[in-house]
Structure 1
Amino acid sequence: MLNIPKSQTEKSFADGKILQKISDGIGIVTFNNPGKRNAMSLDMWEGLGQSLIELRDDPDVRVVILTGAGDKAFVSGADISQFEKTRHNAEASEQYSRRSAAQRALLADYPKPTIACIRGFCLGGGMQVAMLADIRFASDNSQFGIPAAKLGIAYGYDGLRNLVSLVGPSWARLIMYTGMRIDAAEALRIGLVDRLLPDAVLWDATMEIAKTIAANAPLAIKAAKITIAQVLKDPAARDFDAIKDIGTACMDSEDFREGRRAFMEKRKPVFKGK
Protein backbone atom coordinates (compact mmCIF):
# COMPACT_ATOMS: atom_id res chain seq x y z
CA MET A 1 0.00 0.00 0.00
CA LEU A 2 1.14 3.55 -0.66
CA ASN A 3 2.13 5.33 2.52
CA ILE A 4 0.46 8.65 1.71
CA PRO A 5 1.04 11.08 4.59
CA LYS A 6 -1.72 12.74 6.54
CA SER A 7 -2.41 16.15 5.15
CA GLN A 8 -3.73 19.54 6.06
CA THR A 9 -6.82 19.09 3.91
CA GLU A 10 -8.77 15.98 2.92
CA LYS A 11 -11.76 15.97 0.57
CA SER A 12 -13.64 13.56 -1.61
CA PHE A 13 -15.52 13.81 -4.91
CA ALA A 14 -17.66 11.42 -6.96
CA ASP A 15 -19.08 9.74 -3.84
CA GLY A 16 -15.61 9.09 -2.49
CA LYS A 17 -14.17 7.62 -5.69
CA ILE A 18 -11.87 10.63 -6.11
CA LEU A 19 -9.89 11.63 -3.02
CA GLN A 20 -7.92 14.83 -2.60
CA LYS A 21 -5.21 15.66 -0.07
CA ILE A 22 -2.81 18.56 0.35
CA SER A 23 0.52 18.16 2.10
CA ASP A 24 3.43 20.62 2.14
CA GLY A 25 2.37 22.37 -1.06
CA ILE A 26 1.69 19.09 -2.86
CA GLY A 27 -1.82 18.16 -4.00
CA ILE A 28 -2.53 14.43 -4.11
CA VAL A 29 -5.43 13.11 -6.18
CA THR A 30 -6.28 9.43 -5.67
CA PHE A 31 -8.48 7.32 -7.95
CA ASN A 32 -10.38 5.39 -5.30
CA ASN A 33 -12.36 2.58 -6.91
CA PRO A 34 -10.20 -0.41 -5.87
CA GLY A 35 -13.04 -2.93 -6.17
CA LYS A 36 -12.90 -2.30 -9.94
CA ARG A 37 -9.15 -1.68 -10.04
CA ASN A 38 -9.85 2.06 -10.13
CA ALA A 39 -11.76 1.87 -13.41
CA MET A 40 -12.96 5.34 -14.42
CA SER A 41 -16.67 6.10 -14.53
CA LEU A 42 -18.16 9.34 -15.82
CA ASP A 43 -18.70 10.63 -12.30
CA MET A 44 -15.04 9.93 -11.54
CA TRP A 45 -13.97 11.96 -14.58
CA GLU A 46 -16.15 14.82 -13.37
CA GLY A 47 -14.87 14.46 -9.80
CA LEU A 48 -11.31 14.52 -11.11
CA GLY A 49 -12.06 17.82 -12.84
CA GLN A 50 -13.51 19.33 -9.68
CA SER A 51 -10.49 18.28 -7.67
CA LEU A 52 -8.02 19.57 -10.24
CA ILE A 53 -9.76 22.95 -10.43
CA GLU A 54 -9.59 23.36 -6.65
CA LEU A 55 -5.90 22.47 -6.58
CA ARG A 56 -5.21 24.73 -9.55
CA ASP A 57 -6.82 27.67 -7.79
CA ASP A 58 -5.12 27.05 -4.43
CA PRO A 59 -2.04 29.33 -4.31
CA ASP A 60 -0.38 27.09 -1.74
CA VAL A 61 -0.38 24.06 -4.06
CA ARG A 62 2.63 23.93 -6.34
CA VAL A 63 2.64 20.33 -7.60
CA VAL A 64 -0.09 17.71 -8.15
CA ILE A 65 0.41 13.94 -7.90
CA LEU A 66 -2.09 11.52 -9.45
CA THR A 67 -2.19 7.99 -8.02
CA GLY A 68 -4.46 4.98 -7.55
CA ALA A 69 -5.84 3.48 -4.36
CA GLY A 70 -4.81 -0.02 -3.33
CA ASP A 71 -1.98 -2.07 -4.77
CA LYS A 72 -3.57 -3.40 -7.97
CA ALA A 73 -3.95 -0.44 -10.31
CA PHE A 74 -3.36 3.19 -11.16
CA VAL A 75 -6.44 3.22 -13.39
CA SER A 76 -7.39 -0.01 -15.19
CA GLY A 77 -9.34 1.82 -17.88
CA ALA A 78 -12.91 2.94 -18.34
CA ASP A 79 -15.63 1.26 -16.30
CA ILE A 80 -16.88 -1.15 -18.97
CA SER A 81 -19.93 -1.99 -16.90
CA GLN A 82 -21.23 1.46 -17.89
CA PHE A 83 -20.77 0.90 -21.62
CA GLU A 84 -24.19 -0.61 -22.31
CA LYS A 85 -25.71 2.56 -20.91
CA THR A 86 -23.20 5.26 -21.84
CA ARG A 87 -21.20 4.03 -24.89
CA HIS A 88 -23.41 1.50 -26.67
CA ASN A 89 -23.23 3.25 -30.06
CA ALA A 90 -21.58 6.18 -31.83
CA GLU A 91 -24.01 8.82 -30.57
CA ALA A 92 -23.80 7.67 -26.96
CA SER A 93 -20.03 7.39 -27.17
CA GLU A 94 -19.82 10.95 -28.50
CA GLN A 95 -21.87 12.20 -25.54
CA TYR A 96 -19.60 10.27 -23.17
CA SER A 97 -16.52 11.81 -24.79
CA ARG A 98 -17.97 15.31 -24.52
CA ARG A 99 -18.64 14.86 -20.79
CA SER A 100 -15.09 13.71 -20.11
CA ALA A 101 -13.40 16.00 -22.66
CA ALA A 102 -13.39 19.02 -20.35
CA GLN A 103 -11.48 17.09 -17.70
CA ARG A 104 -8.95 15.78 -20.20
CA ALA A 105 -8.44 19.29 -21.57
CA LEU A 106 -8.04 20.63 -18.04
CA LEU A 107 -5.27 18.15 -17.33
CA ALA A 108 -3.65 18.68 -20.72
CA ASP A 109 -3.37 22.44 -20.12
CA TYR A 110 -2.81 22.30 -16.37
CA PRO A 111 -0.69 25.25 -15.22
CA LYS A 112 1.04 23.39 -12.39
CA PRO A 113 3.44 20.43 -12.66
CA THR A 114 1.74 17.05 -12.56
CA ILE A 115 3.20 13.63 -11.74
CA ALA A 116 1.55 10.27 -12.34
CA CYS A 117 2.59 7.75 -9.68
CA ILE A 118 1.75 4.39 -11.28
CA ARG A 119 1.60 0.95 -9.74
CA GLY A 120 -0.20 -2.08 -11.10
CA PHE A 121 -2.49 -1.76 -14.10
CA CYS A 122 -2.46 1.39 -16.21
CA LEU A 123 -4.74 0.62 -19.12
CA GLY A 124 -6.97 2.42 -21.63
CA GLY A 125 -8.31 5.55 -19.95
CA GLY A 126 -5.64 5.15 -17.30
CA MET A 127 -3.01 5.50 -19.99
CA GLN A 128 -4.80 8.62 -21.17
CA VAL A 129 -4.57 10.15 -17.68
CA ALA A 130 -0.95 9.11 -17.22
CA MET A 131 0.13 10.43 -20.62
CA LEU A 132 -1.45 13.81 -19.85
CA ALA A 133 0.73 14.17 -16.75
CA ASP A 134 4.05 15.97 -17.10
CA ILE A 135 6.05 13.16 -15.49
CA ARG A 136 5.39 9.42 -15.06
CA PHE A 137 6.98 7.31 -12.33
CA ALA A 138 6.11 3.62 -12.26
CA SER A 139 6.67 0.65 -9.98
CA ASP A 140 8.37 -2.46 -11.26
CA ASN A 141 5.07 -4.36 -11.12
CA SER A 142 3.22 -1.99 -13.45
CA GLN A 143 1.53 -3.06 -16.67
CA PHE A 144 0.46 -0.81 -19.52
CA GLY A 145 -1.80 -1.17 -22.51
CA ILE A 146 -4.66 0.21 -24.59
CA PRO A 147 -7.15 -2.61 -25.34
CA ALA A 148 -9.34 -0.56 -27.70
CA ALA A 149 -8.90 -3.09 -30.52
CA LYS A 150 -10.16 -5.85 -28.21
CA LEU A 151 -13.29 -3.83 -27.42
CA GLY A 152 -14.02 -2.51 -30.89
CA ILE A 153 -13.68 1.17 -29.99
CA ALA A 154 -11.58 4.05 -31.29
CA TYR A 155 -9.14 5.60 -28.83
CA GLY A 156 -9.34 9.16 -30.13
CA TYR A 157 -7.02 11.77 -31.56
CA ASP A 158 -5.75 13.38 -28.35
CA GLY A 159 -4.86 10.09 -26.70
CA LEU A 160 -3.03 8.84 -29.77
CA ARG A 161 -1.23 12.14 -30.26
CA ASN A 162 0.12 11.84 -26.73
CA LEU A 163 1.06 8.20 -27.26
CA VAL A 164 2.91 8.95 -30.50
CA SER A 165 4.73 11.88 -28.89
CA LEU A 166 6.03 9.58 -26.13
CA VAL A 167 6.83 6.31 -27.90
CA GLY A 168 6.83 7.17 -31.62
CA PRO A 169 4.50 6.00 -34.39
CA SER A 170 5.79 2.43 -34.74
CA TRP A 171 5.33 1.52 -31.09
CA ALA A 172 1.99 3.35 -31.09
CA ARG A 173 0.85 1.13 -33.96
CA LEU A 174 2.03 -2.03 -32.20
CA ILE A 175 0.26 -1.05 -28.97
CA MET A 176 -2.96 -0.10 -30.73
CA TYR A 177 -3.11 -2.88 -33.32
CA THR A 178 -2.50 -5.69 -30.82
CA GLY A 179 -3.98 -4.36 -27.58
CA MET A 180 -0.92 -5.96 -25.97
CA ARG A 181 0.20 -5.50 -22.38
CA ILE A 182 3.61 -3.91 -21.80
CA ASP A 183 5.54 -4.59 -18.63
CA ALA A 184 7.27 -1.87 -16.63
CA ALA A 185 10.76 -2.47 -18.03
CA GLU A 186 9.50 -2.25 -21.61
CA ALA A 187 7.51 0.89 -20.78
CA LEU A 188 10.68 2.54 -19.51
CA ARG A 189 12.70 1.41 -22.52
CA ILE A 190 10.26 2.86 -25.07
CA GLY A 191 9.78 6.14 -23.19
CA LEU A 192 6.25 5.58 -21.93
CA VAL A 193 7.40 6.22 -18.35
CA ASP A 194 10.27 8.36 -17.11
CA ARG A 195 11.49 6.44 -14.08
CA LEU A 196 11.07 2.86 -12.90
CA LEU A 197 11.34 2.10 -9.19
CA PRO A 198 10.88 -0.84 -6.82
CA ASP A 199 7.32 -0.87 -5.57
CA ALA A 200 8.40 -0.38 -1.96
CA VAL A 201 10.09 2.96 -2.67
CA LEU A 202 7.88 4.33 -5.45
CA TRP A 203 5.83 6.67 -3.29
CA ASP A 204 8.75 8.10 -1.34
CA ALA A 205 10.69 8.71 -4.56
CA THR A 206 7.68 10.43 -6.14
CA MET A 207 7.23 12.65 -3.08
CA GLU A 208 10.92 13.53 -3.07
CA ILE A 209 10.73 14.79 -6.64
CA ALA A 210 7.45 16.62 -5.90
CA LYS A 211 9.03 18.35 -2.90
CA THR A 212 12.03 19.36 -5.01
CA ILE A 213 9.73 20.88 -7.62
CA ALA A 214 7.60 22.58 -4.96
CA ALA A 215 10.70 24.24 -3.47
CA ASN A 216 11.76 25.73 -6.82
CA ALA A 217 10.55 29.00 -8.31
CA PRO A 218 6.95 28.52 -9.55
CA LEU A 219 7.26 31.14 -12.31
CA ALA A 220 10.41 29.52 -13.68
CA ILE A 221 8.65 26.15 -13.73
CA LYS A 222 5.63 27.73 -15.40
CA ALA A 223 7.94 29.22 -18.02
CA ALA A 224 9.42 25.81 -18.74
CA LYS A 225 5.99 24.21 -18.94
CA ILE A 226 4.62 26.86 -21.31
CA THR A 227 7.69 26.77 -23.55
CA ILE A 228 7.83 22.96 -23.78
CA ALA A 229 4.13 22.91 -24.67
CA GLN A 230 4.80 25.39 -27.48
CA VAL A 231 7.77 23.35 -28.74
CA LEU A 232 5.46 20.35 -29.13
CA LYS A 233 3.00 22.28 -31.30
CA ASP A 234 3.21 22.66 -35.06
CA PRO A 235 5.42 25.67 -35.89
CA ALA A 236 2.51 27.70 -37.26
CA ALA A 237 0.54 27.23 -34.03
CA ARG A 238 3.26 28.26 -31.59
CA ASP A 239 2.54 31.24 -29.35
CA PHE A 240 5.87 33.04 -29.04
CA ASP A 241 4.20 35.96 -27.28
CA ALA A 242 3.23 33.63 -24.43
CA ILE A 243 6.85 32.49 -24.16
CA LYS A 244 8.10 36.09 -24.16
CA ASP A 245 5.51 37.19 -21.58
CA ILE A 246 6.34 34.47 -19.06
CA GLY A 247 10.06 35.11 -19.59
CA THR A 248 9.55 38.79 -18.80
CA ALA A 249 7.47 37.90 -15.74
CA CYS A 250 10.30 35.70 -14.46
CA MET A 251 12.97 38.34 -14.93
CA ASP A 252 10.86 41.00 -13.19
CA SER A 253 9.75 38.75 -10.34
CA GLU A 254 10.52 38.91 -6.64
CA ASP A 255 11.55 35.27 -6.91
CA PHE A 256 14.37 36.13 -9.33
CA ARG A 257 15.65 38.69 -6.85
CA GLU A 258 15.31 36.16 -4.04
CA GLY A 259 17.21 33.56 -6.09
CA ARG A 260 20.08 35.97 -6.67
CA ARG A 261 20.23 36.98 -3.02
CA ALA A 262 20.09 33.40 -1.80
CA PHE A 263 22.93 32.43 -4.14
CA MET A 264 25.13 35.30 -2.94
CA GLU A 265 24.27 34.59 0.71
CA LYS A 266 24.83 30.84 0.24
CA ARG A 267 21.41 29.87 1.60
CA LYS A 268 18.36 28.06 0.31
CA PRO A 269 15.95 30.41 -1.48
CA VAL A 270 12.36 30.85 -0.36
CA PHE A 271 10.21 31.37 -3.42
CA LYS A 272 6.70 32.87 -3.34
CA GLY A 273 5.62 32.51 -6.94
CA LYS A 274 5.56 36.23 -7.66
Structure 2
Amino acid sequence: MAETDKMIARKDGAIATLTFNNPARHNAVSLDMWRACADIMKDFSADPAIRVVIITGAGEKAFIAGADISKFAEERSADNGADVYNEAVEAGYAAVYDCPKPTIAMIRGYCIGGGMGLASCCDIRICTENARFAVPAAKLSVGYGYAGVKRLLDIVGPSFTKEIFYTARQFDAEEARAMGFANRVVPNDQLETYVRDYAATIAGNAPLTIDSIKFIVGEIAKDAAERDMAKCEAMVANCFTSRDYEEGRTAFMEKRKPVFTGK
Protein backbone atom coordinates (compact mmCIF):
# COMPACT_ATOMS: atom_id res chain seq x y z
CA MET A 1 0.00 0.00 0.00
CA ALA A 2 1.48 3.36 -1.08
CA GLU A 3 1.01 6.14 1.45
CA THR A 4 2.50 9.64 1.38
CA ASP A 5 2.62 12.35 4.03
CA LYS A 6 -0.30 13.93 2.18
CA MET A 7 -2.39 10.74 2.20
CA ILE A 8 -3.30 9.09 5.49
CA ALA A 9 -4.74 5.55 5.63
CA ARG A 10 -6.23 4.27 8.87
CA LYS A 11 -8.03 1.10 9.87
CA ASP A 12 -10.16 0.97 13.02
CA GLY A 13 -11.76 -2.44 13.26
CA ALA A 14 -14.20 -2.78 10.38
CA ILE A 15 -13.94 0.89 9.35
CA ALA A 16 -11.15 2.28 7.16
CA THR A 17 -10.49 5.98 6.59
CA LEU A 18 -8.61 7.64 3.75
CA THR A 19 -7.69 11.28 4.43
CA PHE A 20 -6.42 13.74 1.81
CA ASN A 21 -3.91 15.62 3.94
CA ASN A 22 -2.98 18.89 2.26
CA PRO A 23 -4.91 21.43 4.38
CA ALA A 24 -2.59 24.34 3.56
CA ARG A 25 -3.91 24.12 -0.02
CA HIS A 26 -7.49 23.11 0.90
CA ASN A 27 -6.52 19.47 0.23
CA ALA A 28 -5.80 20.15 -3.44
CA VAL A 29 -4.59 16.90 -5.02
CA SER A 30 -1.25 16.27 -6.74
CA LEU A 31 -0.22 13.43 -9.05
CA ASP A 32 1.42 11.50 -6.20
CA MET A 33 -1.71 11.86 -4.09
CA TRP A 34 -3.95 10.45 -6.83
CA ARG A 35 -1.60 7.51 -7.24
CA ALA A 36 -1.55 6.88 -3.50
CA CYS A 37 -5.35 7.11 -3.43
CA ALA A 38 -5.61 4.24 -5.93
CA ASP A 39 -3.12 2.07 -4.03
CA ILE A 40 -4.70 2.68 -0.62
CA MET A 41 -8.21 2.01 -1.90
CA LYS A 42 -7.08 -1.27 -3.50
CA ASP A 43 -5.68 -2.32 -0.11
CA PHE A 44 -8.94 -1.43 1.64
CA SER A 45 -10.93 -3.30 -1.00
CA ALA A 46 -8.85 -6.45 -0.59
CA ASP A 47 -8.94 -6.50 3.23
CA PRO A 48 -11.74 -8.85 4.40
CA ALA A 49 -11.79 -7.18 7.84
CA ILE A 50 -12.86 -3.83 6.35
CA ARG A 51 -16.61 -3.37 5.86
CA VAL A 52 -16.91 0.41 5.33
CA VAL A 53 -14.56 3.06 3.93
CA ILE A 54 -14.73 6.76 4.86
CA ILE A 55 -13.05 9.31 2.58
CA THR A 56 -12.37 12.81 3.86
CA GLY A 57 -10.06 15.81 3.83
CA ALA A 58 -7.85 17.11 6.62
CA GLY A 59 -8.61 20.33 8.48
CA GLU A 60 -11.79 22.34 8.84
CA LYS A 61 -11.91 24.22 5.53
CA ALA A 62 -12.16 21.67 2.74
CA PHE A 63 -12.91 18.14 1.61
CA ILE A 64 -10.95 18.55 -1.64
CA ALA A 65 -10.63 21.81 -3.55
CA GLY A 66 -9.59 20.30 -6.89
CA ALA A 67 -6.15 19.87 -8.39
CA ASP A 68 -2.97 21.28 -6.81
CA ILE A 69 -2.20 24.05 -9.31
CA SER A 70 1.20 24.68 -7.70
CA LYS A 71 2.26 21.28 -9.08
CA PHE A 72 1.13 21.88 -12.68
CA ALA A 73 4.45 23.17 -14.00
CA GLU A 74 6.22 20.15 -12.53
CA GLU A 75 3.64 17.48 -13.32
CA ARG A 76 2.17 18.67 -16.61
CA SER A 77 5.11 20.32 -18.37
CA ALA A 78 6.20 17.24 -20.33
CA ASP A 79 4.56 16.49 -23.67
CA ASN A 80 2.40 13.77 -22.16
CA GLY A 81 2.19 15.31 -18.67
CA ALA A 82 -1.52 16.08 -18.89
CA ASP A 83 -2.30 12.55 -20.08
CA VAL A 84 -0.29 11.00 -17.24
CA TYR A 85 -2.04 13.20 -14.68
CA ASN A 86 -5.51 12.51 -16.09
CA GLU A 87 -4.86 8.76 -16.09
CA ALA A 88 -3.83 8.93 -12.43
CA VAL A 89 -6.97 10.90 -11.56
CA GLU A 90 -9.22 8.39 -13.31
CA ALA A 91 -7.40 5.49 -11.63
CA GLY A 92 -8.04 7.15 -8.26
CA TYR A 93 -11.70 7.69 -9.10
CA ALA A 94 -12.07 4.11 -10.34
CA ALA A 95 -10.48 2.65 -7.20
CA VAL A 96 -13.12 4.44 -5.11
CA TYR A 97 -16.06 3.82 -7.45
CA ASP A 98 -15.20 0.12 -7.91
CA CYS A 99 -14.52 -0.53 -4.22
CA PRO A 100 -16.79 -3.45 -3.23
CA LYS A 101 -17.22 -2.00 0.28
CA PRO A 102 -19.67 0.83 1.09
CA THR A 103 -17.94 4.20 0.78
CA ILE A 104 -18.88 7.43 2.58
CA ALA A 105 -17.60 10.87 1.61
CA MET A 106 -17.28 12.91 4.83
CA ILE A 107 -17.40 16.49 3.52
CA ARG A 108 -16.70 19.73 5.34
CA GLY A 109 -16.07 23.05 3.65
CA TYR A 110 -15.10 23.22 -0.01
CA CYS A 111 -15.84 20.28 -2.31
CA ILE A 112 -14.74 21.70 -5.66
CA GLY A 113 -13.87 20.25 -9.07
CA GLY A 114 -12.03 17.01 -8.46
CA GLY A 115 -13.47 16.96 -4.95
CA MET A 116 -16.97 16.73 -6.38
CA GLY A 117 -15.69 14.16 -8.83
CA LEU A 118 -14.32 12.01 -6.02
CA ALA A 119 -17.43 12.45 -3.87
CA SER A 120 -19.49 11.30 -6.89
CA CYS A 121 -17.59 8.01 -6.76
CA CYS A 122 -18.72 7.34 -3.20
CA ASP A 123 -21.96 5.61 -2.26
CA ILE A 124 -23.03 8.13 0.37
CA ARG A 125 -22.16 11.81 0.88
CA ILE A 126 -22.58 13.41 4.31
CA CYS A 127 -21.62 17.07 4.66
CA THR A 128 -21.54 19.97 7.08
CA GLU A 129 -23.86 22.95 6.93
CA ASN A 130 -21.00 25.12 5.67
CA ALA A 131 -20.07 22.79 2.78
CA ARG A 132 -19.77 24.34 -0.68
CA PHE A 133 -19.89 22.47 -3.99
CA ALA A 134 -18.90 23.43 -7.53
CA VAL A 135 -17.44 22.20 -10.80
CA PRO A 136 -15.80 25.34 -12.26
CA ALA A 137 -14.79 23.72 -15.57
CA ALA A 138 -16.70 26.27 -17.67
CA LYS A 139 -14.71 29.10 -16.06
CA LEU A 140 -11.46 27.47 -17.21
CA SER A 141 -12.46 25.91 -20.55
CA VAL A 142 -11.74 22.49 -19.07
CA GLY A 143 -13.35 19.43 -20.66
CA TYR A 144 -14.94 16.67 -18.57
CA GLY A 145 -15.00 13.12 -19.90
CA TYR A 146 -17.95 10.78 -20.23
CA ALA A 147 -17.22 8.69 -17.13
CA GLY A 148 -17.06 11.65 -14.75
CA VAL A 149 -20.18 13.30 -16.18
CA LYS A 150 -22.10 10.01 -15.97
CA ARG A 151 -21.15 9.44 -12.34
CA LEU A 152 -22.56 12.85 -11.42
CA LEU A 153 -25.63 12.41 -13.63
CA ASP A 154 -26.42 9.05 -12.03
CA ILE A 155 -26.71 10.88 -8.70
CA VAL A 156 -28.44 14.19 -9.51
CA GLY A 157 -30.02 13.57 -12.93
CA PRO A 158 -29.59 15.34 -16.29
CA SER A 159 -31.01 18.77 -15.45
CA PHE A 160 -28.98 19.36 -12.29
CA THR A 161 -25.85 17.99 -13.99
CA LYS A 162 -26.27 20.59 -16.73
CA GLU A 163 -26.93 23.36 -14.19
CA ILE A 164 -23.80 22.47 -12.20
CA PHE A 165 -21.62 22.57 -15.32
CA TYR A 166 -23.38 25.42 -17.15
CA THR A 167 -23.24 27.90 -14.25
CA ALA A 168 -19.94 26.76 -12.70
CA ARG A 169 -21.17 28.45 -9.50
CA GLN A 170 -20.93 27.31 -5.93
CA PHE A 171 -23.91 25.52 -4.40
CA ASP A 172 -24.48 25.42 -0.65
CA ALA A 173 -25.22 22.33 1.42
CA GLU A 174 -29.00 22.67 1.27
CA GLU A 175 -28.90 23.04 -2.51
CA ALA A 176 -26.71 19.96 -2.72
CA ARG A 177 -29.22 18.03 -0.61
CA ALA A 178 -32.13 19.23 -2.74
CA MET A 179 -30.30 17.99 -5.83
CA GLY A 180 -29.77 14.61 -4.21
CA PHE A 181 -25.99 15.00 -4.11
CA ALA A 182 -25.76 15.26 -0.31
CA ASN A 183 -27.48 12.41 1.52
CA ARG A 184 -27.30 14.19 4.88
CA VAL A 185 -26.40 17.68 6.13
CA VAL A 186 -25.26 17.90 9.75
CA PRO A 187 -24.01 20.68 12.06
CA ASN A 188 -20.33 21.51 11.55
CA ASP A 189 -19.23 20.22 14.96
CA GLN A 190 -21.09 16.91 14.63
CA LEU A 191 -19.77 15.62 11.31
CA GLU A 192 -17.10 13.22 12.57
CA THR A 193 -19.30 11.62 15.22
CA TYR A 194 -22.29 11.36 12.88
CA VAL A 195 -20.33 9.76 10.05
CA ARG A 196 -18.51 7.28 12.26
CA ASP A 197 -21.77 6.24 13.91
CA TYR A 198 -23.31 5.85 10.45
CA ALA A 199 -20.34 3.76 9.30
CA ALA A 200 -20.60 1.59 12.42
CA THR A 201 -24.29 0.98 11.71
CA ILE A 202 -23.48 -0.19 8.19
CA ALA A 203 -20.52 -2.27 9.38
CA GLY A 204 -22.80 -4.06 11.87
CA ASN A 205 -25.25 -5.17 9.20
CA ALA A 206 -24.97 -8.33 7.09
CA PRO A 207 -22.00 -7.98 4.70
CA LEU A 208 -23.46 -10.34 2.10
CA THR A 209 -26.62 -8.26 1.84
CA ILE A 210 -24.61 -5.02 1.65
CA ASP A 211 -22.30 -6.48 -1.00
CA SER A 212 -25.22 -7.68 -3.11
CA ILE A 213 -26.99 -4.32 -2.98
CA LYS A 214 -23.85 -2.42 -3.96
CA PHE A 215 -23.25 -4.75 -6.90
CA ILE A 216 -26.87 -4.81 -8.09
CA VAL A 217 -27.23 -1.01 -7.93
CA GLY A 218 -24.02 -0.73 -9.93
CA GLU A 219 -25.38 -3.11 -12.55
CA ILE A 220 -28.66 -1.18 -12.80
CA ALA A 221 -26.64 1.92 -13.69
CA LYS A 222 -25.16 0.10 -16.70
CA ASP A 223 -26.75 -0.39 -20.09
CA ALA A 224 -28.98 -3.48 -20.11
CA ALA A 225 -26.67 -5.43 -22.44
CA GLU A 226 -23.75 -5.00 -20.03
CA ARG A 227 -25.50 -6.17 -16.87
CA ASP A 228 -24.35 -9.38 -15.19
CA MET A 229 -27.75 -10.70 -14.18
CA ALA A 230 -26.38 -14.14 -13.34
CA LYS A 231 -24.05 -12.68 -10.71
CA CYS A 232 -26.87 -10.54 -9.30
CA GLU A 233 -29.02 -13.64 -8.84
CA ALA A 234 -26.12 -15.65 -7.42
CA MET A 235 -25.34 -12.99 -4.81
CA VAL A 236 -28.96 -12.89 -3.68
CA ALA A 237 -29.11 -16.68 -3.47
CA ASN A 238 -25.87 -16.70 -1.48
CA CYS A 239 -27.50 -14.53 1.18
CA PHE A 240 -30.23 -17.11 1.77
CA THR A 241 -27.82 -20.06 2.02
CA SER A 242 -25.35 -18.31 4.33
CA ARG A 243 -24.65 -18.82 8.01
CA ASP A 244 -25.35 -15.12 8.42
CA TYR A 245 -28.95 -15.70 7.31
CA GLU A 246 -29.33 -18.26 10.09
CA GLU A 247 -27.64 -15.88 12.54
CA GLY A 248 -29.98 -13.05 11.58
CA ARG A 249 -33.10 -15.15 12.18
CA THR A 250 -31.75 -16.61 15.44
CA ALA A 251 -30.73 -13.20 16.78
CA PHE A 252 -34.18 -11.82 15.95
CA MET A 253 -35.90 -14.63 17.84
CA GLU A 254 -33.52 -14.24 20.79
CA LYS A 255 -33.96 -10.45 20.78
CA ARG A 256 -30.23 -9.75 20.55
CA LYS A 257 -27.92 -7.98 18.13
CA PRO A 258 -26.72 -10.34 15.38
CA VAL A 259 -23.02 -11.00 14.87
CA PHE A 260 -22.41 -11.32 11.13
CA THR A 261 -19.27 -12.83 9.66
CA GLY A 262 -19.90 -12.45 5.93
CA LYS A 263 -20.18 -16.23 5.49
Structure 1 pair 140–86 and aligned structure 2 pair: CA distance change class (3 A):
same
Q: Structure 1: which 5+ runs fail to align?
A: 1-10
* Corresponding residue SS for 1:273: coil
Matches within 5 A, 1:81-230: 81-87=70-76, 91-230=80-219
Does residue 60 in structure 1 map to residue 49 in structure 2? yes
1:65 Cα offset (Å)? 0.3
Partners of 1:12 and 1:227 lie apart in 2 by 30
Over the matched positions of the two proteins, sequence identity in percent amounts to 44
1:255, CA displacement in angstroms?
Answer: 0.8
C-alpha displacement at 1:100, in angstroms?
Answer: 2.7
Task: Tell me the distance in 2 between the aligned counterparts of 1:101 and 1:122.
Answer: 18
Deviates more, 1:135-144 or 1:89-98: 89-98
Q: Look up the SS of the partner of 1:188 in the other structure.
A: helix
> Structure 2 CA distance, aligned partners of 1:24 and 1:190?
34
RMSD between aligned alpha carbons?
1.7
Q: Shift of residue 46 of structure 1?
A: 1.0
Could you tell me whether the CA contact under 8 Å between 1:121 and 1:143 is conserved in 2? yes
Query: Which residue, 15, 19, 25 being the options, matches 1:26?
Result: 15
1:258 aligns with 2:247: yes
- SS at the partner of 1:226? helix
Q: Secondary structure at the match of 2:32?
A: helix
> SS at the partner of 1:168?
helix
**Secondary structure, counterpart of 1:55 in structure 2:** helix
Normalising by the residue count of structure 1, what TM-score does the alignment of the two structures yield?
0.91
Aligned AA (2:75): T
**In the TM superposition, what is the alpha-carbon distance from 1:130 to its structure 2 partner?**
0.4
Residue deviations 1:182-210 (CA, integer Å, cap 9, x gap): 11111111111111111111111111110
Q: Does 1:13 align with 2:3?
A: yes
Question: 1:222: how far off?
Answer: 0.2
Structure 1's consecutive aligned runs of 4 or more residues displaced over 3 angstroms after TM superposition are 84-92
Distance in 2 between the 1:142 and 1:217 partners?
A: 32
Summarize deviations over 1:72-95 as a string: whole Å, max 9, x none: 100000112223343469943222
- Gap regions ≥5 residues in structure 2: none
Alignment equivalent of 2:59, drawn from 45, 53, 70: 70
Q: CA deviation at 1:29?
A: 0.9
C-alpha distance in 2, partners of 1:90/1:127? 28
Report which stretch shifted further, 138-147 or 100-109.
Answer: 100-109
| Residues 1:90 and 1:174: Cα distance change in structure 2 (over 3 Å) | farther
Label 1:189 to 1:201 Cα distance change in 2 as closer, same or farther (>3 A). same
2:173 & 2:77 partners in 1: Cα distance?
32
> For residues 38 and 17 of structure 2, what CA distance do their matches in structure 1 show?
13
Distance in 1, matches of 2:234 and 2:176, equals: 36
Distance 2:66 2:89 in 1: 13
Q: Is the 8 A contact 1:12 1:19 kept in 2?
A: no
SS in 1 for 2:125: strand
- Residues 74-120 of structure 1: per-residue CA shift (max 9 Å, x gap): 00001122233434699432222122322221211110000000000
| Separation in 2, partners of 1:226, 1:234 | 14
Aligned partner (choices 226, 231, 239) of residue 237 of structure 1: 226
